[in-house]
Amino acid sequence: CSYLLPMIFLGEGSEQVAYYDCRGLSPLSRYRIDRTEDAFYILEKVLIIMSCVVEYLITPAKVMLTTDTIFFNVETGEIKIAYVPSTESSASLRKHVLSLISELKADVEDEYKGYLDSFAVTVHRNNYQIRDLVNRLGLIRRELYSKTNASS
């Protein structure tokens, strides 16, 4: 799956270790996401990836989404995810997305931060499919774009 970081498994005896090939990419935790637009860009890319991993028989709810498992290439804007299975028995994509929004929102400093809260409410209150969330997010990004460019 081209959306996830390539993995190599090495084992000795009963021990297995996974190594990720993250050349050219760094975890989001190394970056400061201080603009709402950037946070929405990342969220949109992550949701699109989650909608595609299903084709490879990976359950999106089982993929941990944190700023340590999402990798970013600053030069190209490419985003990939390190597949780390969630250990929570009650894991859901909704919980992972809400947690990711909280992580991304932590450093956002612009006046549009409320849009992230609004999207989090949408994710929490509704049972949207991934594609529906991507569409809603696209609408929010367009509205945000018009506001940020109108005030320039």
How far is Cα 96 from Cα 91, in angstroms, rounded to an integer?
A: 8
Which amino acid, one-letter code, is at 138?
G
Its pTM stands at: 0.89
CB 72 within 8 A of CB 24: no
DSSP 31-90: S----HHHHHHHHHHHHHHHHHHGGGT--GGGB--STTTEEE-TTT--EEE---B---TT
pLDDT at 147 over 70: yes
State how beta strands 7-12 and 15-20 pair: antiparallel
Q: What is the pLDDT of residues 43-61, one digit of tens each?
A: 999 999 999 999 999 999 9
- In this prediction, residue 122 carries a pLDDT of 94
